[in-house]
């Protein structure tokens, strides 16, 4: 993987195939043959490269985002600077955050050797990220040697939301998090809760035993395996905005009603979350890190296999799940737009398309 931008001379018009950049790297959340979605413990080994109808994804634990890396990180840092409460650590989670930082910096330096370097002399580490200009020496475990706490330091280097779960009194608890890109939840509200408490609002999940199976899976996660899971919804914003957290509700709360009113379905975003589960060996904490990707219906429309599958899955979803995911009220017109046959001219405006 390289951070070099795409060829600037590439045609602006949507190419038929192969698709480039953002869409080619997108972790399409559905298996090829999936027609109906229900929640399950849909985990698979990490680093497995998956081919999609538009490209491939998944070779690394951290997806820097190609040419979007700089913009995502600028967004992350802006949010952290403006709202320090996006980082929440329960008592005793300091060592686990160091464990997380050491694991990720080591992994990044191997995954992106042309961009990132790490040298170690005992506890003394030297981290360089040439894409962002970071050059930091620090002593593992000594907070005074970093400009931020270790979780924040890592969160300012990679696009993933960082979540750590740890066992307390027989339950897995979400005891540390740096979350700037939450989908309608708040790290301040959820931190310290058990997995069951956090997932109670999701229809069917706890009643059908998915939460307890997922918790069992995380509790028994072996030290020598890394797993991942893909989750999805339609975003609560009709833009690439990743931060649709409860903290920012006033900023995005009217987006979808406006989009629905204007029938501007092209802007609707499929939000894809790739979660990685790693048992950190120094503390036994387990990561639940989330990397969020967005793609618009306009982009999905250009991949025939995707447009058919998304419409099928969204329309088939039972009402309670569609309501939870937030698209019960508008899924029919949105999916009708997505699958309408004569959507080939990219110059037409949304309203013209609706008149056509």
Select the residue interacting with other proteins from 10, 15, 32, 258 (CB under 8 A).
32
Binding of other proteins by 95 (CB under 8 A): yes
Under the binding rule (CB under 8 A), the answer on residue 98 touching other proteins is yes
* Nearest Cα to Cα of residue 221 among 46, 29, 97: 46
Nearer of residues 99 and 247 to other proteins, judged by Cβ? 99
Q: Does 52 bind other proteins (CB under 8 A)?
A: yes
| Contacts for 105-112: CB closer than 8 Å, 24+ residues apart | 105/154, 105/157, 107/61, 107/62, 108/62, 108/157, 108/158, 111/1, 111/60, 111/61, 111/62, 112/1, 112/60, 112/64
Q: Which of 23, 30, 68, 293 binds other proteins (CB under 8 A)?
A: 30
Each residue of 33-49: b (16+ CB within 10 Å) or e? eeeebebebebeebeee
Distance (Å, whole) CA 61 – CA 119: 20
Answer yes or no: 50 catalytic.
no
Catalytic residue among 156, 229, 271, 291: 229
Tell which one of 259, 285, 310, 338 touches other proteins (CB under 8 A): 285
Applying CB under 8 A, does 255 fall inside the site for other proteins?
A: no
In this complex, which beta carbon is closest to other proteins, that of residue 281 or of residue 304? 281
- Nearest CA to 140 among 84, 108, 94, 177? 94
Our CA dihedral for 303, 308, 310, 314, rounded to 10 degrees, sits at 160
Choosing from 8, 11, 91, 341, the residue that interacts with other proteins (CB under 8 A) is: 91
Q: Are 172 and 166 in contact (CB under 8 A)?
A: yes
Nearest partner of 287 among 199, 131, 125, 165, judged by Cα: 165
Task: Give the residue, chosen from 22, 88, 166, 291, that forms a contact with other proteins under the rule CB under 8 A.
Answer: 166
Q: Cα–Cα distance between 73 and 309 in angstroms, integer?
A: 32
Figure out which of the listed residues 149, 175, 264, 299 binds other proteins, where binding follows CB under 8 A.
175
Q: Would you count residue 168 as binding other proteins (CB under 8 A)?
A: yes
- 25 lies in the binding site for other proteins (CB under 8 A): no
Give me the 220-239 binding string for other proteins, x by CB under 8 A, dash otherwise. ---xxxx-------------
**Residue 56, beta-bridge partner list:** 51
**Binding window for other proteins (CB under 8 A); candidates: 39-47, 242-250, 313-321, 324-332:** 39-47
- Residues near other proteins (CB under 8 A) are 27-33, 45-52, 56, 59, 90-96, 98-99, 102-103, 106-107, 110-111, 120, 122-123, 140-141, 166, 168-170, 175, 223-226, 281-285
């Amino acid at each position: 993987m390289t951070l070099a931008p795409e060829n600037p001379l590439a045609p602006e018009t949507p190419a038929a195939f192969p698709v480039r950049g953002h869409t080619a790297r997108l972790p399409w959340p559905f298996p090829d043959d999936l027609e109906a979605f229900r929640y399950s413990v849909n985990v698979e080994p990490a680093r497995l490269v998956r081919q999609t109808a538009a490209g491939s994804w998944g070779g690394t634990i951290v997806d820097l985002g190609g040419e979007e890396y700089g913009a995502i990180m600028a967004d992350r840092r802006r949010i952290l600077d403006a709202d320090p409460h996006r980082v929440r650590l329960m008592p005793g989670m300091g060592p686990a955050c160091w464990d997380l930082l050491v694991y990720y910096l080591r992994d990044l330096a191997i995954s992106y050797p042309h961009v990132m370097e790490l040298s170690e002399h005992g506890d003394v580490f030297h981290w360089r990220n040439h894409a962002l200009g970071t050059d930091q020496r620090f002593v593992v475990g000594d907070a005074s040697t970093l400009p931020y706490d270790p979780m924040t330091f890592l969160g300012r280097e990679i696009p993933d939301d960082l979540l750590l779960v740890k066992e307390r009194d027989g339950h897995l608890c979400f005891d540390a998090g740096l979350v700037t890109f939450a989908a309608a939840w708040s790290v301040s509200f959820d931190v310290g809760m058990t997995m069951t408490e956090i997932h109670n609002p999701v229809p069917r999940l706890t009643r059908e035993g998915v939460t307890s199976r997922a918790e069992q899976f995380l509790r028994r996660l072996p030290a020598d395996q890394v797993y991942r899971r893909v989750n999805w919804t339609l975003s609560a914003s009709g833009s690439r905005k990743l931060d649709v957290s409860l903290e920012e509700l006033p900023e995005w709360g009217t987006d979808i009603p406006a989009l629905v009113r204007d029938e501007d379905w092209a802007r609707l975003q499929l939000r894809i979350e790739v979660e990685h589960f790693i048992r950190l060996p120094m503390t036994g904490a387990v990561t639940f890190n989330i990397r969020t990707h967005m793609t618009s219906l306009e982009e999905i429309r250009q991949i025939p296999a995707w447009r058919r599958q998304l419409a099928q899955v969204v329309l088939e979803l039972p009402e309670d799940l569609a309501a939870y995911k937030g698209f019960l009220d508008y899924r029919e017109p949105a999916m009708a737009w997505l699958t309408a046959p004569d959507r080939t001219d990219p110059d037409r405006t949304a309203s013209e398309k609706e008149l056509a």
